[in-house]
Amino acid sequence: MRYLVLTDIHANLPALEAVLEVASAEGYDRVLVLGDLVGYGADPNAVIDRVKALAPAAIIRGNHDKASSGLYSTDDFNAVARTAAMWTFNALSPENREFLTTLPAGPLQVTPRLEICHGTPFDEDAYVFDAADAIDALDAARGALCLFGHTHLPVVFSRSPTGFNVALPTGAISRITLEDGTRYLVNPGSVGQPRDGDARAAFAVCDEDASQVTFWRVPYRIDLAQEAILAAGLPAPLAARLAIGR
């Protein structure tokens, strides 16, 4: 089974469409969505509709999905994120707002080996930024492979009998092979708002049969996403940051 793994789309329709074009050409069987379909970007309804059409095998909510649908307070959001969440709440159709409220919380077991979450397996809103965070998440994970999002940073944390390792996927395409006896915590990076200094949209394909995860970076029409953000009256920094991947 080849899973297309999408996370942190953040209402960026040009990025999502570019990712799906490449992914369709490469081929996949099912789709996994790790949360934050909306927030920051200007096309929440179009993105939700596109994701629905993919009929994901598994989909979970992110913190921006909760905030933008009214399930979650924006008190701990910065001013820009709070403004975007409020704008999104008003922009969402009633049907799509309801859809976001029905998304399950992670973690979610997809197969005995594979688990997905937005933040961590022990807290859907917690961030994994360093080794200590990753070790706590690996301890809480139920399968050998846990896919997560939230940080917008592609990374592979792994722990084997010989030690702990951190790897950063680089380039347009990179691949890891999953070794028996090793546990993995993998972030494919953000589709709609990368933050690792690479402005290209990020996604991954997890091939359970081949025991491989392939990371992809895809160029897209950043200018279109920026124009839509500014035309919607969303904060200008949300447009500017897309060009620098921060």
Interval 98-118: pLDDT, tens: 999 999 999 999 999 999 999
pLDDT in tens, 192-242: 999 999 999 999 999 999 999 999 999 999 999 999 999 999 999 999 999
pLDDT in tens, 2-25: 999 999 999 999 999 999 999 999
* Torsion, Cα of 61, 99, 11, 146 (10° steps): 20
pLDDT at site 24? 97
Cα angle for residues 93, 234, 66 (degrees, 5° grid): 50
Mean pLDDT of 119-125: 97
How many Cβ atoms are within 10 Å of 146's Cβ, its own excluded?
Answer: 26
Strands 163-167 and 155-160, sheet pairing: antiparallel
Q: Which residue type occupies 203?
A: F
Instruction: State pTM to two decimals.
Output: 0.96
pLDDT at site 218? 98
Q: How many residues does the chain have?
A: 246
Decide if pLDDT at 76 tops 90. Answer: no
Q: Which residue type occupies 30?
A: R
- Beta-carbon contacts of 20 under 8 Å, excluding residues fewer than 6 positions away, are 50, 54
Domain count, the chain: 1
Domain with 38, as residue range(s), is: 2-243
CATH number at residue 40: 3.60.21.10
Cα angle for residues 140, 169, 136 (degrees, 5° grid): 15
Return d(Cα 183, Cα 201) in angstroms, integer.
Answer: 26
Return d(Cα 213, Cα 188) in angstroms, integer.
Answer: 9
